[in-house]
Amino acid sequence: MKIHINQLQEGHILSKDLISATKKPLAYKKTVVTQSIKEAFQAFLIKEVDVEEYTDQESRIVNSDANDEVEAVEQGDLLPNFYQVYLDAVQSYKHIFNSWQSGVLIDIGKVRQIIIPLVKKSQDHEDEILKLYHYCKQEEYIYHHSISVALLSAFLAKRLGYMQGDINQIALTGLLCDCGMAKVSPSIIQKSVTLTETEYHDIKQHPVHSYNLLKNVMSIKEGVKLGVLQHHERIDGSGYPLGVKGEQLNPYSKIVALADTYQAMVAVRPYRSKQSPFKVFEQMMQDEFGKFDIKVLNALKQALIKFSAGTKVRLSDGFEAEIVFVDEKYPTRPLVKYDHSEEIIILKDRNDLFIEELL
């Protein structure tokens, strides 16, 4: 029995293997659906699933074999494992962020427990890092954003040759860069329309709030504190809150600054839909060039190139296609092949067309 994803309920049992657009298994036949599994399917843009029919008397009885299937999903034997660990980290961060809003001091031990295991796991799932924007829920944007920035920062740091110890510290910087948002009025954070000048000024104070929350925590390295304070500064001095530039910027901040901006641009927001990594990187090169460290930009570019070959995408004309070749000079404008016609399109020659979404 095929049903729409919105009709899927906890206790439903899959009657067929569920395969993603990239031909990887998301879940196997006989998997018993939980809320977290349903959220995973939604994140992968699944529209319909096949489930077993059951009688009222059966009332979705879950046998021991089916329970084993659920446990396998939650313990990471199937593809959604990284996604599920990511979701768990988002909810854990939400919990401690809410406590900071209530005045609880930052416990760096709890913060490390959230992000360090996830960073380690992400290093075995690097292809998923640039897909994290799929998972972001608009109503929980700030929590998704912080975890995503931490993971992308760690990913870029690794590509830049940092050792694992520094990678972990850079991930902490990415996670904590917006901790000062806890000191901004929730009504401003959750506002879905344009901010007033006063409200925008309040938002721009969050790096200072973040630094103040961390400055007396002895177990946090100074590089993390400076990275948090400077993550909205820019190489050309156009950033805030202090307008520092160039070599005045801490190396951690240069990485987190790019990760923070990139993740904000790809994620769904109240005023626009989510955007693809290719479209965002192109915008950053056009509109933000000179503001970010060129080495960090190149690390992101190389990741896009490596990530691209064979990737399924949806173009701005609505058609699905597959990336077949990426020219390093035009990383956001690869050659793609339409699924419906096998036609090859050279995107660098088509200013009217761009990659709308990764599939």
- Domain with residue 163: its CATH number is 1.10.3210.10
- Contact call for residues 284 and 331 (beta carbons, < 8 A): no
Task: Supply the pLDDT for residue 83.
Answer: 83
Q: How far apart are CA 215 and CA 205, in angstroms?
A: 15
Helix 222-229 / helix 251-266 crossing angle, nearest 10 deg: 50
Whether 85 and 48 share a structural domain: no
User: Taking the CA of residue 124 as centre, how many other CA atoms within 13 Å lie in the half-sphere pointing to its CB?
Assistant: 10
Q: Tell me: pLDDT of 161 over 70.
A: yes
Question: Look-up: residue for tokens 């309040």?
Answer: 202
Residue 283 lies in a domain: no
Mean pLDDT of the chain: 85
Q: How far apart are CA 236 and CA 245, in angstroms?
A: 6
Confidence of residue 179 (pLDDT cuts 50, 70, 90): very high
Query: Could you please report the per-residue DSSP string of 7-34?
Result: G--TT-BBSS-EE-TTS-EEE-TTPBP-
Residue 330 lies in a domain: yes
H or E element that contains 274: none
Amino acid at 326: V
**In terms of Cα–Cα distance, which of 301, 292, 279, 293 is closest to 351?**
279
Q: Which domain holds residue 57?
A: 2-75
Whether 62 and 93 share a structural domain: no
Q: In sequence order, what are the beta bridge partners of 312? A: 322
H or E element that contains 49: strand 48-50
**Residue ending a domain, choose from 56, 75, 94:** 75
Q: How far apart are CA 30 and CA 32, in angstroms?
A: 6
Whether 88 and 57 share a structural domain: no
Q: What is the pLDDT of residues 277-299, one digit of tens each?
A: 888 998 898 888 889 999 999 99
| Long-range contacts formed by 58-62: CB under 8 A, 24+ apart | 60/11, 60/12, 60/13, 62/11, 62/32
**Residue ending a domain, choose from 12, 42, 75:** 75
Paired sense of beta strands 344-346 and 335-338, if any: antiparallel
Residue 27 lies in a domain: yes
Residue 194 lies in a domain: yes
Confidence of residue 24 (pLDDT cuts 50, 70, 90): low
Q: Tell me: pLDDT of 324 over 50.
A: yes
Per the model's pLDDT, the better-predicted residue between 51 and 265 turns out to be 265
Question: Look-up: residue for tokens 């990594």?
Answer: 277
User: Model's pTM, two decimal places?
Assistant: 0.77
Confidence of residue 239 (pLDDT cuts 50, 70, 90): very high
**Residue ending a domain, choose from 75, 94, 119:** 75
Whether 261 and 325 share a structural domain: no
Whether 95 and 203 share a structural domain: yes
Q: How far apart are CA 152 and CA 197, in angstroms?
A: 30
Residue 292 lies in a domain: no
Which residues, in sequence order, are CB contacts of 142 under 8 Å at separation 6+?
Answer: 97, 178, 181, 189
- Contact call for residues 26 and 73 (beta carbons, < 8 A): no
Number of domains in the chain: 3
Whether 222 and 239 share a structural domain: yes
Whether 33 and 182 share a structural domain: no
